[in-house]
Chains A and B, each alone.
Chain A
Amino acid sequence: MLSVSGIRKAFGGVQALDNAVLRCDPGEIVGLIGPNGAGKSTLVNVVTGVLRPDAGTVVLGGRDLTGTGPGAICSAGIARTYQNLRVFHSLTVMQNVEVAHSRCRQLTPDRAARVSASALLKTFGLERHANALAGELSYGSQRRLEMARAMATVPQILLLDEPAAGLNDEETDQLGEVIRLVATQMGAGIVVIDHDLKFINDICRHLFVMDQGRPIAEGTPERVWKDPRVIEVYVGPGTETGTGDQRDTVQGV
């Protein structure tokens, strides 16, 4: 399992992360939420080795990965997608997935078959576009392609940075289905960052809430949305806490 604790990261005088935490088990879908500037993407960048934390540890399955680079983190079994899409535009859809196979760990044959490029394209509904250039795909398809590419590295943990951004309701529902599929069939633990709280509540069993770089709550969605600090952050100060009405308000954001 992934266990991230006590992460601190400052940019100049700004404390972007202050004792940030995150945990995710195989097959589990957890949400990482918080208002803009809460430090969610910074935390993802620390976990995936893009940024080196000032303090704290990133541990995957008992192995301390803190401070190793993005490549080593990927090889260890943590993959990600990007808030701003980063598919390889000039490669075909199939090649985008194949290129990610290159450095991954040795696989048992049945596992390899499950993450074969064609199987992944099918899982993510891209098999029709296999030979098209990735840059020519629609926005929603590029999002799915990034997930397929990340899964080709056979990760234990997959971090999705705003996967539903820019998708319509129907596409978001489909995305939720695919994410559940990835968790149950491929056994990957999934961390979802998103601003679509309905989407988050639908697919996550466990939420981590951050504000200004600090963890302010965690637990099941039902518990988290009753937490007065969470309501204060999302609804604003001075309101009564814990009523069903407000929870619906929050969930309807």
Chain B
Amino acid sequence: MSTHDPGGIGAGGEHGDEHLASSGRADSSRADLYMPGAVLEEPAIVDVADVRPELANPELVDAMVAPDRTVHAKVGEPLLQMQNVTVQFGGLVALDDVSFDIRRGEILGLIGPNGAGKTTAFNAMTGVYRPTKGQVVFDGSTVGKLKRYRITQRGIARTFQNIRLFNEMTALENVVVGSDARHRTSVPGALFRTPRHRREERDAIDRALALLEFVGVGGRATEKARNLSYGDQRRLEIARALATEPKLLCLDEPAAGFNPAEKESLMDLIRHIRDDGYTVLLIEHDMRLVRGVTDRIVVLEFGRVIADGTPDEVTSDPKVIAAYLGVPDSELTADEGGTGADRAAGPTTEGGSGDASA
């Protein structure tokens, strides 16, 4: 795995172009890739580092982005524990007695074929679904019946598989909405603009700008979210999630629709986030990306955990190979490929496939 140069993290816009170019259809259909029939125009680009000179220093940006809240779990100890979690939708068992840990300071990959229960597990952690049985313990206490915004305030932040930004807000405002989760003042403070409220607002904006620089969309801070390129929108989602000062950052297929070069720079960003002190849970289809970036992988199939270990252990596990990566033709028996082979995205064949879901 070649390491990208550090500039690549910031080059969100550039990769947008590469994405088009590398998909090999740039000339024929570039206009309708994002917005059919849209008139191409000059976007407003603002140089954040000139407006806020301190943000030109990447170390300072890292320091501003870094989590500063107390986490009870020590580095390496379980931060989130899935304890025998079962999630049922009527008769459908989406998660069946699933147990695994996310340890503080690691990047955990959660993989599995389509319909394996990855997103359900994710939703159970972030409070979208309540477990039918079992419990989710986060940083020493159960997530249980907390309201969803409370769970975010407790320190679990997520991005969405299908991007869900606030489209009519600017990139900066989107991120500040995330920081608002940490605000202490509410309507009375805002109504009369108390000193504390003003301090919080100022801090939120400064941190949001640092976050935008951190993920590499600082130049688009004042652009409406819907006008950002696909890649930048994904990065903006990560920035917005980080703005809530999470202890655990959950990324739901952040590389969906990315080309290999964009994936590469996303991997750098994810590593950078981990190195900055966050714990990351990564749900992803792309084995190359998962193997390249994660410290540990949990494999789900049909709602059960079938493997849990380092990337090398997991990818050499015969059960995983059979279930997820597909059975080689030579070993194929009477069942004509089965479900696994349909979705085979083997590490060697993956690169060219470039995700049709884009």
Partners in one complex: no
